[in-house]
Protein backbone atom coordinates (compact mmCIF):
# COMPACT_ATOMS: atom_id res chain seq x y z
CA UNK A 1 0.00 0.00 0.00
CA UNK A 2 1.45 3.35 -1.00
CA UNK A 3 1.40 5.98 1.73
CA UNK A 4 0.48 9.56 0.82
CA UNK A 5 3.30 12.08 0.93
CA UNK A 6 1.69 14.07 3.67
CA UNK A 7 -1.08 14.29 6.21
CA UNK A 8 -2.33 17.89 5.82
CA UNK A 9 -2.98 19.57 9.14
CA UNK A 10 -2.63 23.08 10.55
CA UNK A 11 1.06 23.97 11.13
CA UNK A 12 1.37 24.43 14.89
CA UNK A 13 4.33 24.32 17.24
CA UNK A 14 4.88 23.48 20.85
CA UNK A 15 7.70 23.28 23.33
CA UNK A 16 10.14 20.46 24.03
CA UNK A 17 7.69 18.71 26.37
CA UNK A 18 5.97 17.28 23.30
CA UNK A 19 9.02 15.07 22.71
CA UNK A 20 8.53 13.26 26.02
CA UNK A 21 7.63 9.63 25.32
CA UNK A 22 5.31 9.37 28.32
CA UNK A 23 3.54 12.71 28.46
CA UNK A 24 4.25 14.29 25.10
CA UNK A 25 2.52 14.20 21.73
CA UNK A 26 2.63 10.42 21.29
CA UNK A 27 -1.09 9.86 21.84
CA UNK A 28 -1.92 12.63 19.41
CA UNK A 29 0.46 11.11 16.88
CA UNK A 30 -1.34 7.77 17.25
CA UNK A 31 -4.76 9.36 16.74
CA UNK A 32 -3.38 11.13 13.64
CA UNK A 33 -2.34 7.82 12.09
CA UNK A 34 1.39 8.45 12.47
CA UNK A 35 2.26 5.48 14.73
CA UNK A 36 3.30 2.16 13.16
CA UNK A 37 2.13 3.66 9.88
CA UNK A 38 2.73 2.58 6.30
CA UNK A 39 5.64 4.58 4.91
CA UNK A 40 6.30 5.40 1.29
CA UNK A 41 8.72 2.99 -0.37
CA UNK A 42 10.35 3.32 -3.74
CA UNK A 43 9.70 0.45 -6.12
CA UNK A 44 12.57 -2.06 -6.27
CA UNK A 45 12.27 -5.25 -8.35
CA UNK A 46 12.13 -8.30 -6.10
CA UNK A 47 15.22 -10.04 -7.61
CA UNK A 48 17.23 -6.84 -7.16
CA UNK A 49 16.15 -6.47 -3.53
CA UNK A 50 16.98 -10.11 -2.86
CA UNK A 51 20.48 -9.51 -4.22
CA UNK A 52 20.92 -6.27 -2.23
CA UNK A 53 19.97 -7.95 1.04
CA UNK A 54 22.75 -10.53 0.85
CA UNK A 55 25.01 -10.25 3.90
CA UNK A 56 28.74 -10.75 3.79
CA UNK A 57 31.11 -11.63 6.64
CA UNK A 58 34.25 -10.86 4.62
CA UNK A 59 33.47 -7.19 3.98
CA UNK A 60 32.55 -6.49 7.59
CA UNK A 61 35.55 -8.43 8.93
CA UNK A 62 37.90 -6.47 6.68
CA UNK A 63 36.47 -3.11 7.71
CA UNK A 64 36.34 -4.02 11.40
CA UNK A 65 39.92 -5.29 11.42
CA UNK A 66 41.10 -2.10 9.71
CA UNK A 67 39.14 0.07 12.15
CA UNK A 68 40.63 -1.62 15.22
CA UNK A 69 44.10 -1.54 13.64
CA UNK A 70 43.72 2.23 13.31
CA UNK A 71 42.58 2.49 16.94
CA UNK A 72 45.58 0.49 18.16
CA UNK A 73 48.04 2.44 15.98
CA UNK A 74 46.66 5.79 17.14
CA UNK A 75 46.68 4.53 20.73
CA UNK A 76 50.35 3.67 20.48
CA UNK A 77 50.99 7.11 18.98
CA UNK A 78 49.12 8.74 21.87
CA UNK A 79 51.06 6.68 24.42
CA UNK A 80 54.38 7.68 22.89
CA UNK A 81 53.31 11.33 22.94
CA UNK A 82 52.53 11.40 26.68
CA UNK A 83 54.15 14.34 28.48
CA UNK A 84 54.77 16.15 25.19
CA UNK A 85 52.94 18.89 23.32
CA UNK A 86 51.91 16.27 20.77
CA UNK A 87 49.75 14.45 23.31
CA UNK A 88 46.67 16.61 22.65
CA UNK A 89 46.43 16.01 18.87
CA UNK A 90 47.50 12.38 19.31
CA UNK A 91 44.77 11.66 21.85
CA UNK A 92 42.23 13.60 19.78
CA UNK A 93 43.04 11.30 16.86
CA UNK A 94 42.80 8.23 19.09
CA UNK A 95 39.50 9.30 20.66
CA UNK A 96 38.03 10.19 17.29
CA UNK A 97 38.83 6.75 15.89
CA UNK A 98 37.79 4.98 19.12
CA UNK A 99 34.39 6.65 19.45
CA UNK A 100 33.35 8.21 16.14
CA UNK A 101 33.08 5.11 13.91
CA UNK A 102 31.66 3.11 16.83
CA UNK A 103 28.41 4.98 16.26
CA UNK A 104 27.87 3.58 12.77
CA UNK A 105 29.12 0.14 13.85
CA UNK A 106 26.66 -0.25 16.74
CA UNK A 107 24.00 1.04 14.38
CA UNK A 108 24.65 -1.45 11.60
CA UNK A 109 25.12 -4.34 14.05
CA UNK A 110 21.83 -3.46 15.76
CA UNK A 111 20.09 -4.25 12.48
CA UNK A 112 21.95 -7.56 12.30
CA UNK A 113 23.22 -6.68 8.84
CA UNK A 114 26.91 -5.98 9.41
CA UNK A 115 27.88 -9.66 9.31
CA UNK A 116 26.16 -12.72 7.92
CA UNK A 117 27.13 -14.61 11.09
CA UNK A 118 24.85 -13.66 13.97
CA UNK A 119 27.36 -13.92 16.84
CA UNK A 120 29.77 -11.62 14.99
CA UNK A 121 27.07 -8.96 14.82
CA UNK A 122 26.48 -9.31 18.54
CA UNK A 123 30.18 -9.06 19.45
CA UNK A 124 30.63 -5.94 17.33
CA UNK A 125 27.40 -4.50 18.74
CA UNK A 126 28.47 -4.92 22.37
CA UNK A 127 31.97 -3.53 21.76
CA UNK A 128 30.77 -0.56 19.72
CA UNK A 129 28.05 0.27 22.26
CA UNK A 130 30.65 0.36 25.01
CA UNK A 131 32.95 2.58 22.95
CA UNK A 132 30.25 5.07 21.99
CA UNK A 133 28.69 4.73 25.48
CA UNK A 134 25.22 3.51 24.59
CA UNK A 135 23.50 0.92 26.75
CA UNK A 136 23.22 -2.06 24.37
CA UNK A 137 19.71 -3.38 25.00
CA UNK A 138 18.24 0.06 25.61
CA UNK A 139 19.61 1.47 22.37
CA UNK A 140 18.66 -1.60 20.38
CA UNK A 141 15.05 -0.81 21.19
CA UNK A 142 15.29 2.97 20.88
CA UNK A 143 16.61 2.40 17.38
CA UNK A 144 13.81 -0.01 16.54
CA UNK A 145 11.34 2.70 17.56
CA UNK A 146 13.30 5.30 15.58
CA UNK A 147 12.78 3.25 12.43
CA UNK A 148 9.14 2.48 13.13
CA UNK A 149 8.19 6.09 13.95
CA UNK A 150 10.97 8.17 12.39
CA UNK A 151 10.78 11.79 13.57
CA UNK A 152 7.27 11.30 14.94
CA UNK A 153 7.03 13.72 17.84
CA UNK A 154 6.43 12.01 21.17
CA UNK A 155 7.31 8.60 19.75
CA UNK A 156 10.84 8.73 18.33
CA UNK A 157 13.39 8.70 21.19
CA UNK A 158 16.27 9.51 18.83
CA UNK A 159 15.25 12.95 17.59
CA UNK A 160 18.61 14.69 17.84
CA UNK A 161 17.46 18.27 17.25
CA UNK A 162 14.11 19.08 18.89
CA UNK A 163 12.44 22.33 17.97
CA UNK A 164 12.57 25.11 18.87
CA UNK A 165 16.31 24.54 18.55
CA UNK A 166 18.36 25.30 21.65
CA UNK A 167 21.62 26.37 20.01
CA UNK A 168 23.69 26.24 23.22
CA UNK A 169 22.56 22.71 24.09
CA UNK A 170 23.25 21.58 20.54
CA UNK A 171 26.78 22.95 20.72
CA UNK A 172 27.70 21.24 23.97
CA UNK A 173 25.93 18.07 22.86
CA UNK A 174 27.96 18.07 19.67
CA UNK A 175 31.07 17.43 21.76
CA UNK A 176 29.59 14.61 23.84
CA UNK A 177 29.17 16.68 26.98
CA UNK A 178 25.53 15.70 27.41
CA UNK A 179 25.18 12.15 26.14
CA UNK A 180 28.07 10.37 27.88
CA UNK A 181 27.54 11.76 31.42
CA UNK A 182 23.80 11.11 31.12
CA UNK A 183 24.38 7.53 29.98
CA UNK A 184 26.83 6.88 32.82
CA UNK A 185 24.22 8.05 35.32
CA UNK A 186 21.60 5.82 33.71
CA UNK A 187 23.98 2.86 33.79
CA UNK A 188 24.44 3.36 37.53
CA UNK A 189 20.66 3.52 37.99
CA UNK A 190 20.12 0.39 35.89
CA UNK A 191 22.82 -1.43 37.85
CA UNK A 192 20.69 -1.04 41.00
CA UNK A 193 17.92 -2.95 39.23
CA UNK A 194 15.82 0.09 38.37
CA UNK A 195 14.61 0.79 34.83
CA UNK A 196 12.87 4.08 34.14
CA UNK A 197 9.28 4.28 32.97
CA UNK A 198 10.63 6.08 29.90
CA UNK A 199 12.77 3.06 28.97
CA UNK A 200 10.01 0.60 29.80
CA UNK A 201 7.73 2.37 27.33
CA UNK A 202 9.64 0.87 24.38
CA UNK A 203 11.68 -2.04 25.81
CA UNK A 204 9.77 -5.35 26.08
CA UNK A 205 9.52 -6.63 29.65
CA UNK A 206 11.43 -9.81 28.80
CA UNK A 207 14.45 -7.62 27.95
CA UNK A 208 14.54 -5.72 31.26
CA UNK A 209 16.87 -8.23 33.01
CA UNK A 210 19.40 -7.80 30.16
CA UNK A 211 19.43 -4.05 30.74
CA UNK A 212 20.35 -4.64 34.39
CA UNK A 213 22.99 -7.28 33.63
CA UNK A 214 24.71 -5.15 31.01
CA UNK A 215 24.75 -2.15 33.33
CA UNK A 216 26.38 -4.22 36.09
CA UNK A 217 29.06 -5.46 33.70
CA UNK A 218 29.80 -1.86 32.70
CA UNK A 219 29.98 -0.79 36.35
CA UNK A 220 32.47 -3.60 37.06
CA UNK A 221 34.64 -2.55 34.10
CA UNK A 222 34.68 1.11 35.07
CA UNK A 223 35.20 0.32 38.75
CA UNK A 224 38.26 -1.76 37.86
CA UNK A 225 39.49 1.00 35.57
CA UNK A 226 39.14 3.72 38.20
CA UNK A 227 40.70 1.47 40.85
CA UNK A 228 43.65 0.95 38.50
CA UNK A 229 44.00 4.70 38.04
CA UNK A 230 44.01 5.25 41.82
CA UNK A 231 46.52 2.46 42.41
CA UNK A 232 48.86 3.75 39.68
CA UNK A 233 48.40 7.37 40.68
CA UNK A 234 47.48 8.44 37.16
CA UNK A 235 44.32 9.01 35.18
CA UNK A 236 45.96 8.05 31.86
CA UNK A 237 43.98 4.76 31.58
CA UNK A 238 40.78 6.83 31.45
CA UNK A 239 42.20 8.69 28.47
CA UNK A 240 42.18 5.37 26.61
CA UNK A 241 38.88 3.93 27.89
CA UNK A 242 35.99 6.06 29.05
CA UNK A 243 36.96 9.62 28.26
CA UNK A 244 37.36 8.96 24.50
CA UNK A 245 33.58 8.47 24.49
CA UNK A 246 33.39 12.19 25.26
CA UNK A 247 36.34 13.83 23.55
CA UNK A 248 35.98 11.64 20.46
CA UNK A 249 32.21 12.12 20.11
CA UNK A 250 32.45 15.10 17.77
CA UNK A 251 32.86 12.87 14.70
CA UNK A 252 29.62 10.95 15.09
CA UNK A 253 27.86 14.22 15.87
CA UNK A 254 29.34 15.72 12.72
CA UNK A 255 28.07 12.84 10.60
CA UNK A 256 24.83 12.32 12.48
CA UNK A 257 23.59 15.88 12.10
CA UNK A 258 23.33 15.34 8.35
CA UNK A 259 20.73 12.59 8.80
CA UNK A 260 17.58 14.50 9.79
CA UNK A 261 18.45 17.97 11.14
CA UNK A 262 16.05 20.77 10.04
CA UNK A 263 13.86 18.31 8.12
CA UNK A 264 10.14 17.92 8.89
CA UNK A 265 8.69 15.82 11.69
CA UNK A 266 5.47 13.84 11.41
CA UNK A 267 5.61 12.92 7.74
CA UNK A 268 5.41 9.38 6.38
CA UNK A 269 8.03 9.69 3.67
CA UNK A 270 11.73 9.15 4.30
CA UNK A 271 12.52 11.15 1.18
CA UNK A 272 11.25 14.18 3.10
CA UNK A 273 12.81 13.57 6.54
CA UNK A 274 16.18 11.96 5.68
CA UNK A 275 19.24 13.09 3.70
CA UNK A 276 21.51 11.21 1.38
CA UNK A 277 24.87 12.95 1.19
CA UNK A 278 27.77 12.02 -1.08
CA UNK A 279 30.95 11.64 0.97
CA UNK A 280 34.56 10.90 0.20
CA UNK A 281 35.88 7.32 0.65
CA UNK A 282 37.45 8.07 4.06
CA UNK A 283 34.21 9.48 5.45
CA UNK A 284 32.25 6.59 3.96
CA UNK A 285 34.55 4.11 5.69
CA UNK A 286 34.30 5.87 9.03
CA UNK A 287 30.54 6.29 8.68
CA UNK A 288 29.98 2.88 7.10
CA UNK A 289 27.86 4.27 4.27
CA UNK A 290 25.22 5.73 6.58
CA UNK A 291 25.45 8.83 4.42
CA UNK A 292 22.96 6.94 2.22
CA UNK A 293 20.36 7.66 4.83
CA UNK A 294 17.19 7.85 2.75
CA UNK A 295 18.05 4.41 1.39
CA UNK A 296 18.83 3.01 4.82
CA UNK A 297 15.57 4.19 6.38
CA UNK A 298 13.47 3.05 3.46
CA UNK A 299 15.08 -0.41 3.39
CA UNK A 300 16.81 -0.92 6.78
CA UNK A 301 17.67 -4.58 6.17
CA UNK A 302 19.97 -3.79 3.24
CA UNK A 303 23.57 -4.10 4.51
CA UNK A 304 25.89 -1.10 4.60
CA UNK A 305 28.01 -2.31 1.69
CA UNK A 306 24.96 -2.52 -0.63
CA UNK A 307 23.61 0.98 0.08
CA UNK A 308 25.50 2.68 -2.80
CA UNK A 309 23.96 0.18 -5.22
CA UNK A 310 20.50 0.69 -3.66
CA UNK A 311 20.98 4.43 -4.11
CA UNK A 312 21.51 3.91 -7.85
CA UNK A 313 18.38 1.77 -8.10
CA UNK A 314 15.99 4.27 -6.46
CA UNK A 315 17.73 7.58 -7.29
CA UNK A 316 15.13 8.63 -9.88
CA UNK A 317 12.37 8.44 -7.24
CA UNK A 318 14.28 10.39 -4.58
CA UNK A 319 15.37 13.99 -4.04
CA UNK A 320 18.85 14.70 -5.42
CA UNK A 321 21.65 13.71 -3.08
CA UNK A 322 23.72 16.49 -1.55
CA UNK A 323 27.00 16.72 -3.48
CA UNK A 324 29.14 16.92 -0.33
CA UNK A 325 29.09 17.17 3.44
CA UNK A 326 29.84 20.88 3.09
CA UNK A 327 26.77 21.31 0.88
CA UNK A 328 24.60 19.54 3.47
CA UNK A 329 25.90 21.78 6.25
CA UNK A 330 25.36 24.85 4.11
CA UNK A 331 21.68 23.99 4.30
CA UNK A 332 21.56 22.62 7.86
CA UNK A 333 23.22 25.39 9.86
CA UNK A 334 21.20 28.42 8.68
CA UNK A 335 17.98 26.45 8.91
CA UNK A 336 18.72 25.33 12.48
CA UNK A 337 19.22 28.98 13.38
CA UNK A 338 15.87 29.75 11.75
CA UNK A 339 14.26 26.97 13.78
CA UNK A 340 15.62 28.54 16.96
CA UNK A 341 13.52 31.62 16.16
CA UNK A 342 10.70 30.00 14.20
CA UNK A 343 10.02 26.41 15.29
CA UNK A 344 7.49 26.01 12.49
CA UNK A 345 10.23 26.31 9.89
CA UNK A 346 11.75 23.28 8.18
CA UNK A 347 13.53 22.33 4.98
CA UNK A 348 11.31 21.14 2.14
CA UNK A 349 13.01 18.58 -0.06
CA UNK A 350 11.99 18.29 -3.73
CA UNK A 351 10.01 15.04 -3.88
CA UNK A 352 9.77 13.58 -7.41
CA UNK A 353 6.21 13.70 -8.71
CA UNK A 354 4.98 15.91 -5.87
CA UNK A 355 3.30 19.23 -6.58
CA UNK A 356 3.66 22.20 -4.20
CA UNK A 357 0.14 21.47 -2.93
CA UNK A 358 1.07 17.89 -2.07
CA UNK A 359 4.47 18.51 -0.54
CA UNK A 360 4.94 17.05 2.95
CA UNK A 361 3.48 19.18 5.71
CA UNK A 362 4.33 18.84 9.36
CA UNK A 363 1.50 17.46 11.45
CA UNK A 364 0.56 19.26 14.67
CA UNK A 365 2.62 18.15 17.63
CA UNK A 366 0.02 18.30 20.32
CA UNK A 367 -3.69 18.86 20.87
CA UNK A 368 -2.71 21.31 23.61
CA UNK A 369 -1.72 23.91 21.02
CA UNK A 370 -4.04 23.12 18.13
Per-residue pLDDT tens digits for 207-261: 999 999 999 999 999 999 999 999 999 999 999 999 999 999 999 999 999 999 9
* pLDDT score, position 353: 78
Average pLDDT over the chain reads 92
243 located within any domain? yes
Global pTM value: 0.91
Does 368 map to a domain? no
Structurally, how many domains does the chain consist of?
1
Residues in contact with 48: Cβ distance below 8 Å, sequence separation at least 6, in sequence order? 313
Q: Is 119 part of a structural domain of the chain?
A: yes
- Whole-angstrom Cα distance, residue 252 to residue 73? 20
Residue 4, domain member (yes or no): no
What domain range is 347 assigned to? 16-358
State the chain's maximal CA–CA distance in angstroms. 68
The pLDDT value given to residue 17 = 85
Measured CA angle at 105 (ends 100, 110), to 5 deg: 135
**Residue 332, domain member (yes or no):** yes
pLDDT tens profile 102-116 = 999 999 999 999 999
Q: Report yes or no on 364 lying in a domain.
A: no
Look at residues 161, 159, 109, 154 and name the one whose alpha carbon lies nearest to residue 300.
Answer: 109
Which pLDDT value is given to residue 1? 35
**Number of C-beta neighbours around residue 55 at 10 A:** 19
Segments of the chain with pLDDT less than 50: 1-14, 356-359, 363-370
Computed on alpha carbons and rounded to an integer, the radius of gyration of the chain in Å comes to 21
183-190, long-range: CB < 8 A, 24+ apart: 183/133, 183/134, 183/135, 184/133, 184/222, 186/135, 186/138, 187/135, 187/215, 187/218, 187/219, 188/215, 188/219, 189/215, 190/135, 190/214, 190/215
For helices 87-110 and 250-260, angle between their N-to-C axes, nearest 10 degrees: 40
Give the model's pLDDT for residue 15. 54
Q: Is residue 8 part of a domain?
A: no
User: How far apart, in whole angstroms, are the C-alpha atoms of residue 114 and residue 253?
Assistant: 21
Amino acid sequence: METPLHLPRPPVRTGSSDYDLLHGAGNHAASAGLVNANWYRCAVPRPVMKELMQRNDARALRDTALWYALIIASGLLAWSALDTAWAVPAFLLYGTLYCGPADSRWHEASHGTAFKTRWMNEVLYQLACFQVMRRPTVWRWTHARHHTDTLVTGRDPEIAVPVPVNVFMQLIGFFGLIHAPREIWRVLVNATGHISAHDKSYIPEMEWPKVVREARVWVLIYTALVAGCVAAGTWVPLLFIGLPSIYGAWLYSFFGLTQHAALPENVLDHRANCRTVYMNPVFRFLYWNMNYHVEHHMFPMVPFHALPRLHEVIAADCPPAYPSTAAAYAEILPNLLKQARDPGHYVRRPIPGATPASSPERAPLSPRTA
